[in-house]
Homo-oligomer: A and B are copies of this chain.
Amino acid sequence: MPHVRTQQIVDAAVRVFMRKGVHQSSVDEIVAEAGVSKGLVYLYFKGKKALIEAVMKRLFAPDLQIAQRLLNGNEAVSSRLQEYVRAFAADVERYRALLPLFHECYSMLGRNRRMRELVADYYARQESFFRKMVLQGIVSGEFRACDAETAAVSLLALQEGLIMRWMMQPETTDWSAQAEESLNLLLRALLENN
C-alpha cells in the first residue's frame, strides 16, 4: 500500500482537493499535479471513488498518533487533555484547508459504505481514547466517579463541534485558547473537588 506511486498520486490528490474540493476536482487535474499519466491512476486505484477513500484514509491516520502518546503519559489527565487540545488545534490549524474535504466525505456517508466504515473507525478510536483518559482520571482520583462513556462522548462532541465552528468562522484569532477554555469548562464537571 505505501507504494511510492500510490503515495505520489494521493499526495497530489490531497493538494488538488484542498484547492478545489473533491467534486470540483477532475482526475485530469490530479494527474497533472502528480506528474503522471491518466492511466496510471487507474492502475493503482479502481476509480475516482477509491482514490477519494485513499485520500481520506491518509488524512485520518496521523491524528491518532498524538492520542496514543498521551495515553501513556504520567501527568494529570487534565493536563494531558489540555496538551491534546493544543496539539489538535495546531494540527487543525495546519490542515485547515482540508476541513471542507471532511465535510464532503461526511456527506457521502449515506451512500458509500467504505467511507462510512472508514469514518466510523476513526471516531470509534477517538472515543476510545477519551474514554480511557477519563477512566484513568477516575481511577487516580483526579476525576469524580462519573459515567466515562458520557464524558467521552461529550469530549468528542466538543472537539468536533469546535472544529465545525472554526471552519465557519475562520477569522477567529485565538482558536486554540477558545478550545482550551471549552475543555476547561467540561473538565470542571469531571474533576473531583468541585
Which of A66-74, A77-85, A156-164 is the contact stretch?
A: A156-164
User: What distance in Å separates the Cβ of A46 from its nearest Cβ neighbour in chain B?
Assistant: 15
Query: How many copies of the shown chain assemble into the complex?
Result: 4
Task: Count how many chain A residues have C-beta atoms less than 8 Å from C-beta atoms of the other chain.
Answer: 49
User: What distance in Å separates the Cβ of A96 from its nearest Cβ neighbour in chain B?
Assistant: 9
Q: How far is the CA of A169 from the CA of B106 in the complex (A)?
A: 12
Question: Do the beta carbons of B165 and A157 come within 8 Å of each other?
Answer: yes
| Chain A window 158-177, contacts with chain B (Cβ cutoff 8 Å), 1 for yes, 0 for no | 11111011011100000000
Q: How far is the CA of A21 from the CA of B105 in the complex (A)?
A: 12
Which of A4-12, A56-64, A145-153 is the contact stretch?
A: A145-153
Q: Is the CB of A1 closer than 8 A to any CB of chain B?
A: no
Determine the chain B residues whose CB is within 8 A of the CB of A2 once the complex forms.
none
Question: Do the beta carbons of A109 and B167 come within 8 Å of each other?
Answer: yes
Q: Is the CB of A54 closer than 8 A to any CB of chain B?
A: no
User: What distance in Å separates the Cβ of A53 from its nearest Cβ neighbour in chain B?
Assistant: 16
Question: Do the beta carbons of B100 and A165 come within 8 Å of each other?
Answer: no
Question: Do the beta carbons of B165 and A160 come within 8 Å of each other?
Answer: yes
Determine the chain B residues whose CB is within 8 A of the CB of A23 once the complex forms.
23
- The contact of A21 among B24, B111, B147, by CB within 8 Å, is B111
Question: Do the beta carbons of B168 and A153 come within 8 Å of each other?
Answer: no
Q: How far is the CA of A181 from the CA of B157 in the complex (A)?
A: 12
Binding site for B on A (CB under 8 A): 20-24, 97, 99-101, 103-104, 106-111, 116, 119-120, 123, 146-147, 150-151, 153-154, 156-162, 164-165, 167-169, 178, 181-182, 185-190, 194
